[in-house]
Amino acid sequence: MSNLPTEPTTFHDPYQWLEEVDSARALDWVRAQNQKTDTRLAQSDSFKALQAELLAVLDSDSNIPFVEKIGTHYYNFWIDAAHPRGLWRRTTLEEYRKVQPAWETVLDIDALNTLEGENWVWHGANCLRPGHSQSTYQRCLIELSRGGADASVTREFDLVGKTWVEDGFQLPESKGGMGWIDQDSVYVFTDFGAASMTRSGYPRIVKQWQRGTPLSAATVVYEGQHDDMYIAAMHDSTPGYARDFVSRTLAFYNDELYLRADDGKLRKIDAPDSAEKSVHKDWLLLKLRDDWPVGDGYVAGSLLAIKFEQFMAGGRDFDVLFAPSDSTSLADMDWTRNHLVLNILDDVRNRLSVLTPSNEGWTRSAFIGAPPMATVDVSAVDSDDSDAVWLVTRDYLTPVTLSLAEIGAEPHALKAMPAFFDASRHVVQQHFAVSRDGTRVPYFLVHEQGLQYDGSAPTLLYGYGGFEYSLCPEYSGGLGRAWLAKGGVYAVANIRGGGEYGPRWHQAALKHNRARAYEDFAAVAQDLISRKVTAPRHLGVQGGSNGGLLVGNMLTQYPELLGAVVVQVPLLDMQRYHHLLAGASWMEEYGNPDVPEEWAYIQTFSPYHLFDPAQTYPPVLFTTSTRDDRVHPAHARKLAARMIEANQDVTYYENIEGGHGGAADNAQSAYMKALVYRFLWERLSVGGA
């Protein structure tokens, strides 16, 4: 393990010029690195065959067309080889039940790009619920992004005529957006000019905008502070329960919610800022992230319910719908017309529970037909009109299945992905490593039956460990074809910082405790080595975004455990992260480097500062995107440049498009994935081919 700094140090940054995203000299450096990588990794026949295999998975017509019910139609956004930027299309439920549904194209993004000479990427649609005089959905607000960036433009679209609304609501490119109030008014939160954005680069002001007036005439609804994260407003159009809300996000997992009256006055929903608040018809639900000493007291991770009007009148007599145990956390919840479905993680395995409110209180029942050993997602088909839900199941070896279920009845399978690789030879296991402080850390292990425990297996360990995000078993045809089918072993670590065991698991690795996440990941790596699944020269790690920070710390703090490192769209310079794009919004996670006491611990997990040019590091692949306007590409650029200067084994590739996802279409994604798997197999396998 590397020696960590014990007190704040000064640092001269010789590569700060690489923060100039589109400057000529920065892009010249990027193109030079890209060319080297392309020449070394991407020109062989084996690479091109791998890329084609991965693209075939992404473009497969057998992929499930997931749908959203809007009115009487079911809408899907579809990407394939013929439509690389995608089609927004619709069908009926009767058609959707068929193996090959008949689809009606609503909007063709590729055709739009050709017409406008743009590189639009679909960011979604928000459609206006019909009013009393209407029977069908007619208008939508559609968001489009240039090259996949977070920033987008918004345009009003006629769903009946399938055309853009002339002189309709439109917003120029910015982070933020719009939401319907009624057909002639919207809430708008965007870049209104000087000082209208927060320190994090998100909207600070929300306004109400009337049709037929210029944006400059929109009236202010609420102004947040410069140090807030995000300000927005929304209209709940649920029949019989129409309400308006203003949301003031102070920081990640820390917000205020206000009820907006007809006269524009705001009334705070006086629940803890750290609680996740949601209002559905009669009910207010609070998902606690901290203990709340009200009444008899409620523990972090609990889900509380109370009638909304009762709470606003001062009532605090809650029903506890869920309380965590040592092994459980609440992963998700969703309302149908009459029920609330809870999705609970128990040692990172999903189980479902159905709660039903009545005048006599809440009753609890099992969800019929949910598989006992799989990753399961549940979402309502139409929470206003039915108790039907979509049920999506999968695991590392089982392709995704989509079922339609009525609460209380057996699910009916509608669609299933094909198997993109032969998984019959593989098994999935769950193990627990012991971290430095004695904490048991779960991880999943996928490998061929009959694995020889001699330390020779090329093994890829993946992790994230941040922002209360849980890593549950997922099926990946690309991973299966490019890694598992070749004899590779795959492991996923459920380290602290994530949400696998609720808020306590997340909070255990915040700020000055961040090292616990990296100690957990290193413990899993060491467990794989101790079990003789693999050895350091055959062990690779991969992570993106916050996971890129994770593996960046593995690179700089635990190089002796690793044979290769893949660092994707990462944070790496933790002294300047809060000055770059959306970085200031993550200070609740990492801390504020401008405060000396906080920089004292932040520098102990800043890979850019921990790098020692005199030390030898395992081979590393950095990937990022020029169009990533969330995590600045300079993080990857600068550490790669420092390591190249020190003659380390560095491979670098920066996609010019792609946003934070790294790729703007399937072809780009297949290329990027092929680079990763080619690099890893070359570095970790016994033969290196």
Q: Report how far apart the first and last C-alpha atoms of the chain are (Å, whole number).
A: 30
pLDDT at 642 over 70: yes
660 given a catalytic annotation = yes
Give the SS3 label for residue 526.
helix
Average pLDDT over residues 437-451: 98
Cα diameter, the chain:
74
**Catalytically annotated residue among 152, 302, 435, 545:** 545
Dihedral angle over CA of 63, 69, 72, 77, nearest 10: -40
| pLDDT over 80 (residue 421) | yes
Query: What SS3 class is residue 636?
Result: helix
Within 389-443, residue ranges assigned H as helices are none
Is residue 1 very low, low, confident or very high in pLDDT (cuts 50, 70, 90)?
A: very low
Task: Put the strands of the sheet holding 412-416 in their side by side order.
Answer: 375-380, 388-394, 401-406, 412-416
Closest CA relative to residue 258, chosen from 216, 287, 224, 209: 224
Pairing type for strands 283-287 and 276-280 reads antiparallel
| DSSP state at residue 298 | B
> Residue 632 has what pLDDT?
97
Residue 255 has pLDDT above 50, yes or no: yes
Instruction: For residues 447 and 423, give the distance between their C-alpha atoms in angstroms, rounded to a whole number.
Output: 10
Residue 149, token pair as written in the block: 């960036």
Q: With 70 as the cut, is the pLDDT of residue 689 above it?
A: no
User: Catalytic site residue 60?
Assistant: no
Average pLDDT, stretch 441-466? 98
Residues 48 and 50: their CA atoms lie apart, in Å, by 5
Cβ partners under 8 Å of residue 32, min gap 6: none
Query: What is the predicted pLDDT for the residue at 351?
Result: 95
Q: In the prediction, which pLDDT does 656 show? A: 86
User: 559: which 2 tokens?
Assistant: 């190089």
Distance CA(317)–CA(300), nearest Å, equals 17
33: nearest Cα among 638, 659, 541: 638
**Confidence grade of residue 660 (pLDDT, cut at 50, 70, 90):** confident
Q: And the tokens for 146?
A: 């240039």
State yes or no: pLDDT of 401 exceeds 80.
Answer: yes
Q: What is the dihedral of CA 317, 320, 325, 327, to 10 degrees?
A: -140
Q: What is the pLDDT of residues 502-532, one digit of tens each?
A: 999 999 999 999 999 999 999 999 999 999 9
**Model pLDDT, residue 598:** 98
The position carrying tokens 């040592």 is 326
Question: Do 588 and 582 meet the contact criterion of CB atoms below 8 Å apart?
Answer: no
| Pick among 3.40.50.1820, 3.40.50.300, 3.40.50.2000, 3.30.390.10: CATH of 16-55+420-684 | 3.40.50.1820
Taking 90 as the threshold, does the pLDDT of residue 296 lie above it? Answer: no
- Does the structure show a pLDDT above 60 at 497? yes
Give the span between the Cα atoms of 65 and 350, in whole angstroms. Answer: 23
Q: Give the rounded distance of the alpha carbon of 611 from its chain centre.
A: 28
Amino acid type, 175: K
In the predicted structure, residue 136 carries a pLDDT above the cut 90: no
Give pLDDT, residue 657: 77
Residue that wins the pLDDT comparison between 623 and 253: 623
**Per-residue pLDDT averaged across 432-461, rounded?**
98
Q: Over the chain, what is the mean pLDDT?
A: 95
What is the band of 488 on the pLDDT scale with cuts at 50, 70, 90? Answer: very high
Of the listed 200, 578, 660, 669, which one is catalytic? 660
Average pLDDT of the segment spanning 296-301: 95
Q: Is the dihedral of CA 7, 11, 15, 18 positive or negative?
A: positive
